[in-house]
């Protein structure tokens, strides 16, 4: 095949968190984590030179990509002609996705920068009505945290809030050597599958507040850490308040939020 013009590789830019996957088998393995159930569109965040995109394009799903880097966008436009109409050159953190998706469901996938990965999860949680599935590469510790259960040292805000709405599975670990340039740490790929009942039986805003407030002082009992919520003595006598946040399952946090909601 004749070489197309402009086919030079994108030079990795540190400020954009660019670590390009160079191992095709890992890219394929990430693409294959999608179940393709309950949606017809997928959004890849940070496609770079399209190593993962290539495998998405082979699947029975309409692939969109959002990429902030002009040089990467030009590379994709030159090398993936069919993708061109579905390349969004924007900052994922600022872009209104419904300009494109118009309230329809879509999955999210990506090997995206570590420094925006937790923000990506929070945006996914906000848009959970439209996002039945999410697969992504994270710094290994962050992936483990998102998927961890109560009792674990790394169980925290991100674990509880994600698992309130999604089943979280840690799928596999990826070593630095498969990236160019290699990051300093191991990576981990996880999948979030939205729960059937993702509308909670409690005030969702209040749940976020309770979870965040409790974990801000994770060594303290809830009786102490939730003082700022001005709860009644009666409620604080409940045995839940003698526990520390890492001892509470997601279900118990929801239960607790209901109790606080009804506290007179
Ligand atoms: N997925 C590719 C590239 C990984 S590097 C691969 O596996 O090889 C991370 C990519 O995310 C880069 O292309 C970078 O430009 C892009 N990126 C960084 N911040 C972004 C943002 N806020 N919105 C969209 N893309 C972003």
Compute the mean pLDDT over every residue in the chain, rounded to the nearest whole number.
Answer: 96
Q: Where are the beta strands (DSSP E) in 72-121?
A: 87-88, 107-111
What spacing in Å lies between the alpha carbon of 86 and ligand 1's midpoint?
16
| Residues 131, 75 share a domain | yes
Rg (CA), the chain: 21
The whole-number pLDDT of residue 170 equals 98
The whole-number pLDDT of residue 40 equals 97
What spacing in Å lies between the alpha carbon of 25 and ligand 1's midpoint?
19
Contact 10, 68 (CB under 8 A): no
| Residues 244, 164 share a domain | no
Q: Which residues pair with 111 in a beta bridge?
A: 137
Q: Is 124 left (phi over 0), alpha (psi -120 to 50) or beta?
A: alpha
Residue nearest to atom 11 of ligand 1 (CA): 46
Say which CATH number the domain at 253 has: 1.10.8.100
Residue nearest to atom 21 of ligand 1 (CA): 91
Cis peptide upstream of residue 181 (ω within 30 degrees of 0): yes
The whole-number pLDDT of residue 7 equals 59
| pLDDT tens profile 138-150 | 999 999 999 999 9
Binding site feature residues: 19, 21, 46, 67, 91, 111
Number of other residues whose CB lies within 10 A of the CB of residue 264 = 5
Whether ligand 1 lies within 6 angstroms of the CB of 143 is answered as no
Domain that holds residue 100: 14-194
Residue nearest to atom 22 of ligand 1 (CA): 91
Whether ligand 1 lies within 6 angstroms of the CB of 92 is answered as yes
| Residues 259, 170 share a domain | no
Q: Looking at ligand 1, which atom is closest to the CA of residue 111?
A: 1
Q: What are the residue ranges in the chain where pLDDT is below 70?
A: 1-7
| pLDDT tens profile 18-49 | 999 999 999 999 999 999 999 999 999 999 99
State percent of the chain over pLDDT 70.
97
149, part of any domain: yes
């Amino acid at each position: 095949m004749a070489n197309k013009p402009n086919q030079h590789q994108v030079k990795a830019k540190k400020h954009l968190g660019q670590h390009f996957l160079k191992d095709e088998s890992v890219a394929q393995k990430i693409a294959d984590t999608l179940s393709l159930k309950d949606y017809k569109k997928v959004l890849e965040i940070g496609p770079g030179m399209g190593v993962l995109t290539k495998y998405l394009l082979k699947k029975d799903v309409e692939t969109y990509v959002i990429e902030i880097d002009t040089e990467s966008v030009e590379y994709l436009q030159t090398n993936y002609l069919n993708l061109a109409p579905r390349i969004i050159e924007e900052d994922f953190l600022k872009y209104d996705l419904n300009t494109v998706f118009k309230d329809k469901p879509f999955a999210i996938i990506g090997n995206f920068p570590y420094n925006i990965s937790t923000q990506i999860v929070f945006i996914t949680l906000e848009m959970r009505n439209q996002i039945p599935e999410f697969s992504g590469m994270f710094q290994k510790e962050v992936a483990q945290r998102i998927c961890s259960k109560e009792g674990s040292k790394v169980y925290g805000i991100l674990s509880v809030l994600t698992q309130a709405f999604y089943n979280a599975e840690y799928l596999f670990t990826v070593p630095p050597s498969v990236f160019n340039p290699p990051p300093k740490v191991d990576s981990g790929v996880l999948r979030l599958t939205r729960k059937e009942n993702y509308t909670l039986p409690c005030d969702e805003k209040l749940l976020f507040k309770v979870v965040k407030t409790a974990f801000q002082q994770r060594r303290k009992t809830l009786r102490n850490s939730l003082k700022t919520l001005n709860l009644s003595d009666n409620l604080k006598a409940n045995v839940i308040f003698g526990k520390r946040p890492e001892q509470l399952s997601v279900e118990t946090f929801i239960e607790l939020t209901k109790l606080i909601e009804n506290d007179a």
